[in-house]
Amino acid sequence: MWLAEILYGLITGNYRRVAEIHFEAQYVPAHHNVQEFTTALRAAGEPIRGLPVKDISVGRMLESLFSITRDFDMPTQPHLLLLQKTMVMNEGVATVLDPDINMWETAEPFLKEWMRSELGPEAYYADRIIELVRAFKKIPELIERLDEYYPPHGAAPPSPPLPEIAVIEHKSWWTYVFFGIACAAIGALLMLVLR
Protein backbone atom coordinates (compact mmCIF):
# COMPACT_ATOMS: atom_id res chain seq x y z
CA MET A 1 0.00 0.00 0.00
CA TRP A 2 2.83 2.36 0.89
CA LEU A 3 4.56 1.75 -2.43
CA ALA A 4 1.37 2.47 -4.35
CA GLU A 5 0.84 5.67 -2.37
CA ILE A 6 4.46 6.70 -2.95
CA LEU A 7 4.17 6.14 -6.69
CA TYR A 8 0.81 7.92 -6.85
CA GLY A 9 2.24 10.85 -4.86
CA LEU A 10 5.20 11.13 -7.23
CA ILE A 11 2.91 11.06 -10.26
CA THR A 12 0.50 13.67 -8.89
CA GLY A 13 3.26 15.84 -7.40
CA ASN A 14 2.07 15.36 -3.81
CA TYR A 15 5.60 15.27 -2.38
CA ARG A 16 4.40 16.10 1.14
CA ARG A 17 2.34 12.89 1.26
CA VAL A 18 5.24 10.88 -0.17
CA ALA A 19 7.47 12.26 2.59
CA GLU A 20 4.88 11.46 5.27
CA ILE A 21 4.60 7.88 4.01
CA HIS A 22 8.38 7.48 4.29
CA PHE A 23 8.18 8.61 7.92
CA GLU A 24 5.09 6.47 8.69
CA ALA A 25 6.79 3.40 7.21
CA GLN A 26 9.93 4.29 9.18
CA TYR A 27 12.00 4.38 5.99
CA VAL A 28 13.43 7.69 7.26
CA PRO A 29 14.64 7.95 10.87
CA ALA A 30 12.31 10.10 13.00
CA HIS A 31 15.00 12.65 13.93
CA HIS A 32 14.86 14.10 10.39
CA ASN A 33 12.51 16.90 9.34
CA VAL A 34 9.50 16.01 7.15
CA GLN A 35 9.57 19.41 5.42
CA GLU A 36 13.24 19.05 4.49
CA PHE A 37 12.58 15.57 3.15
CA THR A 38 9.62 16.91 1.13
CA THR A 39 11.84 19.59 -0.40
CA ALA A 40 14.49 17.02 -1.33
CA LEU A 41 11.87 14.79 -2.99
CA ARG A 42 10.44 17.74 -4.90
CA ALA A 43 13.95 18.63 -6.17
CA ALA A 44 14.38 15.05 -7.45
CA GLY A 45 10.94 14.52 -8.98
CA GLU A 46 9.74 17.88 -10.25
CA PRO A 47 12.25 18.30 -13.13
CA ILE A 48 10.88 15.22 -14.91
CA ARG A 49 7.22 15.22 -13.87
CA GLY A 50 4.83 15.79 -16.73
CA LEU A 51 7.45 15.54 -19.48
CA PRO A 52 7.43 13.01 -22.33
CA VAL A 53 9.80 10.06 -22.06
CA LYS A 54 12.24 11.46 -24.64
CA ASP A 55 12.86 14.52 -22.41
CA ILE A 56 13.45 12.76 -19.09
CA SER A 57 16.01 10.54 -17.46
CA VAL A 58 14.67 8.30 -14.73
CA GLY A 59 18.31 7.36 -14.13
CA ARG A 60 19.11 10.94 -13.10
CA MET A 61 16.07 10.99 -10.86
CA LEU A 62 17.23 7.73 -9.23
CA GLU A 63 20.68 9.22 -8.73
CA SER A 64 18.97 12.06 -6.83
CA LEU A 65 16.92 9.54 -4.82
CA PHE A 66 20.07 7.63 -3.86
CA SER A 67 21.60 10.91 -2.73
CA ILE A 68 18.48 11.58 -0.62
CA THR A 69 18.78 8.07 0.82
CA ARG A 70 22.32 8.81 1.93
CA ASP A 71 21.59 12.32 3.24
CA PHE A 72 18.61 11.18 5.31
CA ASP A 73 20.24 8.03 6.76
CA MET A 74 17.71 5.73 5.12
CA PRO A 75 18.45 2.00 5.40
CA THR A 76 18.23 0.10 2.12
CA GLN A 77 14.69 -1.05 1.35
CA PRO A 78 14.62 -3.89 -1.23
CA HIS A 79 11.02 -3.13 -2.25
CA LEU A 80 11.90 0.52 -2.94
CA LEU A 81 14.83 -0.64 -5.05
CA LEU A 82 12.45 -2.89 -7.01
CA LEU A 83 10.11 0.06 -7.54
CA GLN A 84 13.01 2.14 -8.84
CA LYS A 85 14.15 -0.69 -11.13
CA THR A 86 10.61 -0.96 -12.50
CA MET A 87 10.56 2.77 -13.22
CA VAL A 88 13.82 2.46 -15.22
CA MET A 89 12.42 -0.51 -17.16
CA ASN A 90 9.21 1.41 -17.89
CA GLU A 91 11.25 4.31 -19.19
CA GLY A 92 13.16 1.98 -21.54
CA VAL A 93 10.02 0.28 -22.86
CA ALA A 94 8.22 3.62 -23.31
CA THR A 95 11.21 5.09 -25.16
CA VAL A 96 11.15 2.21 -27.65
CA LEU A 97 7.36 2.16 -28.11
CA ASP A 98 6.54 5.88 -28.11
CA PRO A 99 9.15 8.48 -27.12
CA ASP A 100 6.47 11.18 -26.97
CA ILE A 101 4.37 9.36 -24.35
CA ASN A 102 3.97 10.96 -20.95
CA MET A 103 4.44 8.08 -18.50
CA TRP A 104 2.99 10.07 -15.62
CA GLU A 105 -0.29 10.93 -17.34
CA THR A 106 -0.58 7.39 -18.75
CA ALA A 107 -0.08 5.71 -15.37
CA GLU A 108 -2.25 8.06 -13.31
CA PRO A 109 -5.71 6.62 -14.17
CA PHE A 110 -4.56 3.06 -13.49
CA LEU A 111 -2.99 4.00 -10.17
CA LYS A 112 -6.00 6.10 -9.20
CA GLU A 113 -8.36 3.18 -9.88
CA TRP A 114 -6.12 0.75 -7.99
CA MET A 115 -5.89 3.15 -5.02
CA ARG A 116 -9.68 3.56 -4.98
CA SER A 117 -10.29 -0.20 -5.13
CA GLU A 118 -7.63 -1.05 -2.52
CA LEU A 119 -7.72 1.94 -0.16
CA GLY A 120 -11.07 3.58 -0.85
CA PRO A 121 -14.34 3.22 1.07
CA GLU A 122 -15.41 0.22 -1.03
CA ALA A 123 -12.30 -1.70 0.03
CA TYR A 124 -12.79 -0.67 3.67
CA TYR A 125 -16.40 -1.92 3.75
CA ALA A 126 -15.51 -5.08 1.82
CA ASP A 127 -12.88 -5.88 4.46
CA ARG A 128 -15.41 -5.27 7.26
CA ILE A 129 -17.96 -7.57 5.55
CA ILE A 130 -15.35 -10.32 5.27
CA GLU A 131 -14.55 -9.96 8.98
CA LEU A 132 -18.26 -10.18 9.88
CA VAL A 133 -18.78 -13.30 7.75
CA ARG A 134 -15.80 -14.97 9.44
CA ALA A 135 -17.21 -14.05 12.85
CA PHE A 136 -20.66 -15.45 11.92
CA LYS A 137 -19.05 -18.69 10.75
CA LYS A 138 -17.63 -19.18 14.26
CA ILE A 139 -21.03 -18.95 15.98
CA PRO A 140 -22.08 -22.63 15.48
CA GLU A 141 -18.78 -23.84 16.92
CA LEU A 142 -19.20 -21.55 19.94
CA ILE A 143 -22.74 -22.86 20.52
CA GLU A 144 -21.47 -26.46 20.39
CA ARG A 145 -18.78 -25.69 22.93
CA LEU A 146 -21.33 -24.06 25.22
CA ASP A 147 -23.65 -27.08 24.86
CA GLU A 148 -20.79 -29.40 25.83
CA TYR A 149 -19.94 -27.36 28.88
CA TYR A 150 -23.52 -26.62 30.00
CA PRO A 151 -25.71 -29.70 29.52
CA PRO A 152 -29.42 -29.14 28.74
CA HIS A 153 -32.25 -28.99 31.30
CA GLY A 154 -30.40 -26.80 33.73
CA ALA A 155 -28.04 -29.55 34.89
CA ALA A 156 -24.83 -28.43 36.46
CA PRO A 157 -21.70 -28.40 34.34
CA PRO A 158 -19.43 -31.39 34.74
CA SER A 159 -17.14 -31.07 37.68
CA PRO A 160 -13.47 -30.66 36.90
CA PRO A 161 -11.31 -33.72 37.50
CA LEU A 162 -9.93 -33.99 41.01
CA PRO A 163 -6.19 -34.01 41.47
CA GLU A 164 -4.62 -37.29 42.44
CA ILE A 165 -4.07 -37.64 46.16
CA ALA A 166 -0.97 -39.45 47.28
CA VAL A 167 -1.56 -42.29 49.71
CA ILE A 168 0.34 -41.80 52.96
CA GLU A 169 1.73 -45.06 54.23
CA HIS A 170 2.08 -45.52 57.97
CA LYS A 171 5.18 -47.40 58.95
CA SER A 172 4.69 -50.30 61.26
CA TRP A 173 5.75 -50.00 64.92
CA TRP A 174 8.55 -52.52 64.30
CA THR A 175 10.36 -49.90 62.23
CA TYR A 176 10.38 -47.53 65.18
CA VAL A 177 11.57 -50.25 67.57
CA PHE A 178 14.41 -51.26 65.25
CA PHE A 179 15.42 -47.59 64.76
CA GLY A 180 15.44 -47.02 68.53
CA ILE A 181 17.61 -50.12 69.20
CA ALA A 182 20.07 -49.09 66.46
CA CYS A 183 20.40 -45.57 67.91
CA ALA A 184 20.94 -46.95 71.43
CA ALA A 185 23.64 -49.33 70.19
CA ILE A 186 25.46 -46.54 68.33
CA GLY A 187 25.26 -44.28 71.39
CA ALA A 188 26.67 -47.06 73.63
CA LEU A 189 29.54 -47.65 71.27
CA LEU A 190 30.37 -43.95 71.14
CA MET A 191 30.43 -43.75 74.93
CA LEU A 192 32.80 -46.69 75.18
CA VAL A 193 35.11 -45.29 72.51
CA LEU A 194 35.19 -41.76 73.88
CA ARG A 195 36.08 -42.83 77.46
pLDDT tens-digit readout, 23-74: 998 889 989 999 999 999 888 888 877 788 888 877 787 788 888 888 998 8
Q: Is the pTM of this model over 0.75?
A: no
Render pLDDT for 76-85 as a digit per residue (tens, 0 to 9). Answer: 878 778 877 8
The b/e string for 172-185 (b: 16+ C-beta within 10 A; e otherwise) is eeeeeeeeeeeeee
pLDDT > 90 fraction of the chain, expressed in percent and rounded: 8
Render pLDDT for 111-143 as a digit per residue (tens, 0 to 9). Answer: 788 777 777 777 778 888 888 888 888 888 888
Sign of CA dihedral 66, 68, 74, 79: negative
Inform me whether the pLDDT recorded for 170 exceeds 70. no
- What span, in angstroms and rounded, lies between the C-alpha atoms of 7 and 116? 14
| Length of the chain (residues) | 195
pLDDT at residue number 36: 93
pLDDT bucket at 16, cuts 50 / 70 / 90: very high
Task: Give me the mean pLDDT over the 179-185 stretch.
Answer: 85
pLDDT bucket at 157, cuts 50 / 70 / 90: low
